[in-house]
Amino acid sequence: MRKGQIFMPIVTIGFLILMSTFIFLIFTHQNETKEFFSIGSLQSNIIKNYFESEKVFYYYEKLLEYNEYKTVKEFVEEGAVPDDCNKRWKFNSDCEPDFREYFKQILSEKIEGKYKELGINQEMEVYFTDFSFPSGSNSAKVEYNGEIKIKKQPLINFQELEQLKSCIESSIKEINKCSPESSSGSIYKFRKKIADILDENLEPEEIFLEFEIDTKNSGLGIFS
């Protein structure tokens, strides 16, 4: 046989052997190649993790919402002062209302064990927990993490309540300036709408703060 006649078949066979070797290598390194071929998995995991974090955020938003409704209801039950004051405000004593602190105290009892920090200023901010969603592949590791902090306007307008308190404190002699609902002797009764909430049946409910003050025993020392 002449050289030229066997040359092409040999080259073709060699080429086939080489290609087969490469295909064999791909199959024996399937994990690496699979990872390599399915690029985009990391990105899709990040998107999925973002959705997961959104779910967690929503859970805590609702948790705060429902607990705030319950807190508002309990806040007004005793006139925004401790139980033993019998809805009667008295300045410079334990029965002097500290609205934000009292509200914070009730809310923290409602969500006890579920939060790390709770602050009530112009806005209410609750730091519930941290989230962490790691994603990874052979080529990269990504961790999506952060804090679950819910910030919202409180349902109660504390500034309005503080204005009412200041009005009573500064005008105890002329308490009618502060628009009491009724009076009987030296005892003046107040009733003020402070919030709209949803009750335990998730029906709308208006919440009124009711309290009274005895001008002869107001703690301000004017009539004592």
Partner 1 sequence: MKKGDESALTILVSLIVLMIIISQYFIFFVFFPHKIIQPDSQQYIGSEIDLPLMTFVKLNSDLIVISAKNNDYNDLEKKIDELEFDGCWELKIKDRTFNKNNCDIKNPETTIMNIPDYSNNQIKIILNVNKE
> Which residues contact partner 1 (rule: CB under 8 A)?
4, 7-8, 11, 15, 18-19, 22, 25-26, 29, 32-33, 35-41, 43-45, 47-48, 51-52, 54-55, 58-59, 62-63, 66-67, 69-70, 110-111, 114, 138-140, 198, 200-202
Rounded least distance, CB 117 to partner 1, Å: 19
Gap between the Cα atoms of 8 and 15, Å rounded: 10
Rounded least distance, CB 18 to partner 1, Å: 6
Question: CB-wise, 10 or 153, nearer to partner 1?
Answer: 10
Question: CB-wise, 36 or 208, nearer to partner 1?
Answer: 36
Question: CB-wise, 65 or 214, nearer to partner 1?
Answer: 65
Each residue of 178-194: b (16+ CB within 10 Å) or e?
bebeeeeeeebebeeeb
Indicate the pairing of strand 88-89 with strand 204-214: parallel
CA distances from 172 to 99, 126, 161, 175, 211 (A): 20, 37, 16, 5, 15
Rounded least distance, CB 25 to partner 1, Å: 6
Q: How many C-beta neighbours within 10 Å does residue 74 have?
A: 15
Q: Can you spell out the DSSP letters for 77-142?
A: HTTTS-GGGTTEE-TTSTTS--HHHHHHHHHHHHTTTS-SEEEESSSEEEEEEEEEEEEE-SS-EE
Question: CB-wise, 63 or 120, nearer to partner 1?
Answer: 63
Rounded least distance, CB 37 to partner 1, Å: 7
Rounded least distance, CB 131 to partner 1, Å: 13
Question: CB-wise, 88 or 110, nearer to partner 1?
Answer: 110
Q: How many C-beta neighbours within 10 Å does residue 136 have?
A: 12
Question: CB-wise, 19 or 222, nearer to partner 1?
Answer: 19
Rounded least distance, CB 82 to partner 1, Å: 24
